[in-house]
Chain A
Amino acid sequence: MATSPQRRVDVAGLVIALILLILAGVVWWDMSKLQILSPYDLGPKVMPIVVSGGLVLLAIGNAIGALRGDLPARDTLDWKPIILILGALVCLIVLIRFGGGFMIGTALLFAATSTAFGRRAFITDFIIGAVIALIVYVLFAKLLTLSLPAGPLERLF
């Protein structure tokens, strides 16, 4: 891998190291509340201790990498499609949480993703997404006897 000629401190890399450190702290804190019940079993604490320690070491490793600036080169980033897709996922979660069923949310997710990938036909894609959702619902619910969260629309079938 080519390291960039001018080595600059990589801020994102430092943030990654910090997150790892926080995770290590959370794992440690959670571990400290556990109780050891058997004298011979090392108990549920061993693995969290190993993981927490490993994460600390890796945070240091990542921080060194970031300070030396030898993270792989990154391309520019287009945030709009990401926000669009994540927004649709949040809508889906909210709809399911409040009993709206998954079909509207799924159609929305289909249309939003499609838009994120550059299509400009939201209404058409929404209808396509709804049809796919319907087919999958029938397939899952009737053929494979799996339950999907139902809302007013789903109860029609």
Chain B
Amino acid sequence: MEAFASLADGLVVAIQPANLLFALIGVLLGTAVGVLPGIGPALTVALLLPITFKLDPAGSIIMFAGIYYGGMYGGSTTAILINTPGESASMATALEGNLMAKAGRGGPALATAAIGSFVAGTIATLGLTLLAPYLVDIAVSFGPEDYFALMVVAFVTVSATFGDSPVRGLTSLFIGLMLGLVGIDLLSGQSRLSFGVPELYDNIEVTTLAVGLFAVGEALYVASRRHIQEEKLEAVRGSLWMTKEDWKRSWKPWLRGTMFGFPIGALPAGGAEIPTFLSYATERRLTKYPEDFGKGAIEGVAGPEAANNASAAGTLVPLLTLGLPTSATAAMMLAGFQQYGLNPGPLLFAEQPNLVWGLIASLFIANAMLLVLNLPLVGLWVRLLMIPQPWLYAGILVFATMGTIAANPSPVELIMLTVFGVLGFLMRRFDFPIAPVVVGLILGPIAESQLRRALSISLGDPMTLLQSPISATLLAIALIALILPFFLKGLGRFKAVED
């Protein structure tokens, strides 16, 4: 197996002490931000982008992946112990997990989440290892028109197909696309939407947008409705160890959760919410203990937790092989690659095999680290939840502003950060999804350049998009994915399964 030989080479890279250290920092940070409500892995990577661009690319990217995986682990802790999931990927976990904690079974809930995450993460990373070379082989034959069509698919699925409302999702996407226009057009050298402001000539920084939307927007939103919600932290009661019964009830949901998480994560369908809720619904249907659901059923924690970790690995498949981010965190990781001048895709596998396979190998290591960090040390992570909310958000804003001015020491950058913060607040208030904005900003310019390349090859004939069978198929898929939600008003209801 060629893949395993490459993986072995990657392992040599991954076990270099410096890279092990980066992986450890990544999983520690990831778990911490996963535990803390209000900050997610996407924001953390965004905050770290400006301060890592002078570090070693391999190490930084290994760290970013560790943050992604760690965030999935840490999110479960918060979801179980205080019914406010740290990440949207943990919403399904919170349903049964918090009930288990209230019933004094928080220990086994955390354990099944951590072990399930480990099992799913390992299987899914193995899936990534095996699948990536095949996808790379396919992707090599892609022309610019095919890439453009692929990005159209990603745009539609991320924004319209699975959200609450296709109109609101697409609105978010187009705001992102519009922001992507700002700056000097590389092909013609003309500036667009810059209004003579020099800071706008070199494009809107992805970091500034992401930090504004996620950090400032979230802080404003939470502050504005502080008078509404009350959070209650459940103490970890009961043994951390799972009984034989718990194991028996957990292993099948782990595997089923993985089966949902990995493929859906790998498709450009965006995010971990869908597989987690599918897994939750499935476990609820298949369980031998239906009476437990609604009172804290371990299956309802094991399945979704496995699903969200598997989907994180799945998301890396299109990201690494095609350069296609399908979640906010993946979009930030793509920005991480780009800041080193690296472009994920088939070429990266050919030109930088050590970096790519080192990253994949380090995911296995990160997963093992996370199991150790989360099971025995869960008590430590829970303490993070005791940081008073005012200081937590004040700290987030301080880091957000400092990271922004460190990247670009100009008041204009801070003004943009503030404006994006207000935008993020308004979008949360009116229930517009955030991730499509970020994906639009990052992918928009790439899609544009692929389109223009395709059209200049075909001497301006737009039919080239339909003459390539790959591109025609992908555009058809995109069209179906765009129209479907208007007719089937049920697609977005995965989220509402529990209501």
Residues of chain B with a CB closer than 8 A to A30's CB? 192-193
Residues of chain B with a CB closer than 8 A to A13's CB? 430
9-residue interface stretch from B265-273, B275-283, B286-294, B413-421? B413-421
A78 touches B170 (CB 8 A): no
A82 touches B425 (CB 8 A): yes
0/1 interface trace, chain A 13-52, chain B, CB 8 Å (1 if under): 1001000100100110011001111111111101110110
Whether B177 sits at the interface, judged by CB under 8 Å, is yes
Whether A118 sits at the interface, judged by CB under 8 Å, is yes
Residues of chain A with a CB closer than 8 A to B394's CB? 109-111, 113-114, 117, 125, 129
Kindly state the separation between the CA atoms of A41 and B389 in the bound complex, as whole angstroms. Answer: 53
Whether A92 sits at the interface, judged by CB under 8 Å, is yes
Whether B397 sits at the interface, judged by CB under 8 Å, is yes
A85 touches B414 (CB 8 A): no
Whether B398 sits at the interface, judged by CB under 8 Å, is yes
Residue of B167, B391, B405 touching A65 (CB-CB under 8 A): B167
Residue of A61, A85, A96 touching B397 (CB-CB under 8 A): A85
Whether A133 sits at the interface, judged by CB under 8 Å, is yes
Residues of chain A with a CB closer than 8 A to B177's CB? 47, 50-51, 54
Near B by CB (< 8 A), chain A positions 114-154 give 114-119, 125, 128-129, 132-133, 136, 140, 144-149
Whether A12 sits at the interface, judged by CB under 8 Å, is yes
Residues of chain A with a CB closer than 8 A to B168's CB? 62
A37 touches B402 (CB 8 A): no
- Secondary structure class of chain A's binding surface, majority of residues: helix
Whether B496 sits at the interface, judged by CB under 8 Å, is yes
- Given the known interface contacts A39-B460, A47-B448, A54-B177, the answer about A62 and B223 at a Cβ–Cβ threshold of 8 Å is no
- Given the known interface contacts A58-B174, A117-B393, the answer about A148 and B405 at a Cβ–Cβ threshold of 8 Å is yes
- Given the known interface contacts A51-B177, A89-B414, A140-B406, the answer about A40 and B456 at a Cβ–Cβ threshold of 8 Å is yes
B224 touches A82 (CB 8 A): yes
Residues of chain A with a CB closer than 8 A to B398's CB? 106, 109-110, 129, 132-133, 136
- The interface size bin for chain A is 35 or more
B459 touches A40 (CB 8 A): yes
Residues of chain A with a CB closer than 8 A to B171's CB? 16, 20, 58, 61-62
Whether A8 sits at the interface, judged by CB under 8 Å, is no
Q: B15 → chain A, closest Cβ, in Å?
A: 25
Near A by CB (< 8 A), chain B positions 49-76 give 50-51, 54
Whether A11 sits at the interface, judged by CB under 8 Å, is no
Whether A79 sits at the interface, judged by CB under 8 Å, is yes
B402 touches A148 (CB 8 A): yes
A92 touches B456 (CB 8 A): no
Q: A71 → chain B, closest Cβ, in Å?
A: 7
Whether A7 sits at the interface, judged by CB under 8 Å, is no
| Interface-central residue, A34, A84, A117, by most chain B CB under 10 Å | A117
Q: A54 → chain B, closest Cβ, in Å?
A: 5
Residues of chain A with a CB closer than 8 A to B448's CB? 46-47
Q: A75 → chain B, closest Cβ, in Å?
A: 6
Whether B411 sits at the interface, judged by CB under 8 Å, is yes
Kindly state the separation between the CA atoms of A16 and B398 in the bound complex, as whole angstroms. Answer: 30
B459 touches A77 (CB 8 A): no
A113 touches B402 (CB 8 A): no
Kindly state the separation between the CA atoms of A34 and B183 in the bound complex, as whole angstroms. Answer: 13
B429 touches A77 (CB 8 A): yes
Near A by CB (< 8 A), chain B positions 174-200 give 174-175, 177-178, 181, 185, 187-188, 190, 192-193
- Given the known interface contacts A44-B185, A133-B398, the answer about A85 and B220 at a Cβ–Cβ threshold of 8 Å is yes
Kindly state the separation between the CA atoms of A99 and B460 in the bound complex, as whole angstroms. Answer: 51
Kindly state the separation between the CA atoms of A94 and B411 in the bound complex, as whole angstroms. Answer: 8
- Given the known interface contacts A47-B181, A54-B170, the answer about A42 and B496 at a Cβ–Cβ threshold of 8 Å is no
A119 touches B167 (CB 8 A): no
Residues of chain B with a CB closer than 8 A to A40's CB? 455-456, 459-460
Residues of chain A with a CB closer than 8 A to B406's CB? 140, 146-148
From B493, which residue of chain A is reached at the shortest CB distance? A1
Residues of chain B with a CB closer than 8 A to A34's CB? 185, 188, 190, 192
21 contacts between A and B (CB under 8 A): A41-B188, A42-B451, A42-B456, A46-B451, A47-B444, A58-B170, A61-B167, A61-B171, A78-B224, A81-B220, A84-B223, A89-B418, A92-B401, A106-B401, A114-B391, A116-B390, A117-B389, A117-B394, A133-B402, A140-B402, A144-B54
Give 9 nearest A-B pairs by CB, closest first.
Answer: A117-B390, A81-B223, A113-B394, A114-B390, A61-B167, A44-B185, A119-B390, A97-B411, A114-B394
Binding site for A on B (CB under 8 A): 50-51, 54, 164-165, 167-168, 170-171, 174-175, 177-178, 181, 185, 187-188, 190, 192-193, 216, 219-220, 222-228, 388-391, 393-395, 397-399, 401-402, 405-406, 409, 411, 414-415, 417-418, 421-422, 425, 429-431, 444, 448, 451-452, 455-456, 459-460, 496
